[in-house]
A and B are shown apart, each in its own frame.
Chain A
Amino acid sequence: MPKITYKDNQGNSKTIEVENGLSVMEGAIQNDVPGIDADCGGSMACATCHVYVEEKWLDKLPKAEDAEIDMIDMAYEPKKNSRLSCQLIVSDELEGLTVTTPEKQS
């Protein structure tokens, strides 16, 4: 199973094996990784699973749909490398992905 690393804004990190097909958000929720709220449960309606993706991964990930970009407008302190973790589906290609959670989600 691909390993995904979740960092918080203090630099603490946790690396977890996440099953292919789950989202990066689900990987966090199921393993009690703090910093990702996912209030809407993954329906791309709330922007509380917002993460910053490590720069080198930006181009390797499938591009964000318009609806995701629109929703990121609502996120806490969005940046160029902002994504919604509910839209990042884990696959072998994502082995080693590192995401950082913002200071807070709301």
Chain B
Amino acid sequence: MKKTDTVIIGAGPVGLFAVHQLGIKGLKSVVIDNLDKAGGQCIELYPDKPIYDIPAVPECTGEELTKRLLEQIKPFNTEFFLNERVEEVKQDKDNWIVKTNNNNEFLAPNIIIAGGVGSFEPRKLSLKEAEKFEGKSLFYAVRNKELFKNKNISIFGGGDSALDWALELSKFSKINLIHRREGFRGAPHTLSEIKKLEKDGKISIKTPCQLESIEGETNIKSITLKFDDGKTEKIKTDIVLSFFGLIMKLGPIAEWGLNMSKKTIEVNSENFQTSKQGIFAAGDICSYPGKLKLILSGFHEVALASVECFKRARPNEKYRFEFTTSSKNIQERLGKK
């Protein structure tokens, strides 16, 4: 079990700034996130879209904001646990034990939940029969290309993931690329490569159509597509890959006994503590009278939460408010001396 002062759940902008606010107070933290990279919604939903309301930054993209925050917290050498979801939170006297789905365990007096709208998970096919094939012949991500050699593969989706994998897997398998409309939103360059391979008979493109049914016992044998004009087509298929993006799911957070309203966690706006001492919530996931779902509000929320975190992590020390411009302690912690 790893000991730390604060476990931060969520590596979005608010979780990252929490590292900073705790760090300048001399507190250690770890960050856990279900995505494979830091940035949260900024990096997953709108990496290229401009944000205009970060104070003193007239314009930056979600990706730039994430990069800058990571740079800002570099001095604290914080450990990140990515691709991991927190499953369980248990009380242990004045501490909390946090367990992840990757069997990591942490012990800390504080938890800051900066979980946005929940963890990102792949959007699954809506067909009922799809579930029993999941992990066997239906996949929502490619982890090991070897599994996909010399097969008949049907790929669903119109974005970059669908196009990139169609191109890559066509090197050694027969590909059907299936999309609900004729236009693809993936990179035009990739699409033109795919159109070439279509002429060579390596890839066949099926549009505009949707999945009607999947046939097979333990493994998929074929799928049936329904086209917009009402016609159906049965296609021999060993493997289905589906790339319909990610959705956000609150997941286990709802089961930790915190006071919730709709899909948010109630906090007091003095220190952003939840109904449980030592568990804080900040950013889009918290609610209190007047709450605005803005990144800058999340920054304020973790600044105040970090003060209470200090009091709980260092009960024998007196908390002293300090400015970064004048505090030697803070400057040392930032490596500025």
When A73-B185, A106-B247 are in contact, do A41 and B293 touch as well, CB less than 8 Å? yes
**Mask: chain A, 67-88; 1 = CB below 8 Å from B; 0 = not:** 0011001101110100000000
Interface size class of A (residues with CB under 8 A): 10 to 19
Q: Complex formed: what's the CA distance from A48 to B337 in Å? A: 49
Closest A residue to B157 using CB positions = A73
Query: How distant is the Cα of A43 from the Cα of B48 in the complex, in angstroms?
Result: 13
Are the C-beta atoms of B123 and A80 separated by less than 8 Å?
no
Q: Contact check, A70 vs B185: say whether CB atoms are below 8 A apart.
A: yes
Q: Which of chain A's residues have a CB closer than 8 A to the CB of B248?
A: 39, 46, 48, 106
A82: nearest chain-B partner, CB-CB: B180
A69 touches B45 (CB 8 A): no
A46-B180 contact given A41-B293, A70-B185, A73-B185, CB 8 Å threshold: no
Interface check B148, CB cutoff 8 A: no
CB-CB under 8 A from B179, the residues of chain A are 73
Name the prevailing secondary structure of the B interface residues: loop
B158 x A73 contact (CB < 8 A): yes
A45 touches B293 (CB 8 A): no
How many chain B residues have a CB neighbour from A under 8 Å? 23
| Min CB gap B157→A, angstroms | 7
Q: Which residue from chain B places its CB closest to the CB of A78 in the assembled complex? A: B180
Q: How far is the CA of A66 from the CA of B228 in the complex (A)?
A: 20
Docked Cα-Cα span, A77 to B126, in Å, equals 7
Which single member of A45, A66, A80 contacts B41 (CB below 8 Å)? A45
Most buried by A among B159, B228, B244, B284: B244
Residues in chain B near residue A41, CB distance under 8 A: 284, 293
Q: From residue B58, how far is it (CB to closest CB) to chain A in Å?
A: 19
Residue of A nearest to B245 (CB): A74
Q: Residues of A contacting B45 with CB < 8 Å?
A: 40, 43, 45-46
Taking a contact as CB atoms closer than 8 A, the residue among A47, A69, A103, A106 that contacts B249 in the complex is: A106
B289 to chain A, nearest CB (A): 16
Q: B293's closest neighbor in chain A, by CB?
A: A41
CB-CB under 8 A for A106 and B123, given A46-B248, A74-B245, A80-B228: yes
CB distance from B121 to the nearest CB of A (A): 9
B248–chain A nearest beta-carbon distance, Å: 5
Chain A residues whose CB sits within 8 angstroms of the CB of B135 once the complex forms: none
Also in contact, A73 and B159, with CB within 8 A (given A40-B41, A45-B41, A78-B180): yes
Q: Which residues of A contact B181 (CB under 8 A)?
A: 69, 73
Instruction: Take A73-B159, A73-B185 as given contacts and tell me if A39 and B123 are in contact as well, using a CB distance cutoff of 8 Å.
Output: no
Chain A residue with Cβ nearest B186: A70
0 or 1 for each of B284-308: is its CB under 8 Å from A? (1 = yes): 1000000001000000000000000
What CA separation (Å) do A76 and B46 show in the bound complex? Answer: 20
The list of the 10 closest CB pairs from A to B, nearest first, reads A45-B45, A74-B245, A106-B247, A70-B185, A39-B117, A73-B158, A39-B248, A41-B293, A45-B46, A77-B126
Could you list 21 examples of A-B contacts with CB < 8 Å?
A39-B247, A40-B41, A40-B117, A41-B293, A45-B45, A45-B49, A46-B45, A46-B247, A46-B248, A48-B247, A70-B158, A70-B159, A73-B157, A73-B185, A73-B244, A73-B245, A74-B244, A74-B247, A76-B126, A106-B247, A106-B249
Q: List chain B positions with a Cβ less than 8 A from chain A.
A: 41, 45-46, 49, 117, 123, 126, 157-159, 179-181, 183, 185, 228, 244-245, 247-249, 284, 293
- A residues at B contact (CB < 8 Å): 39-41, 43, 45-48, 66, 69-70, 73-74, 76-78, 80, 103, 106
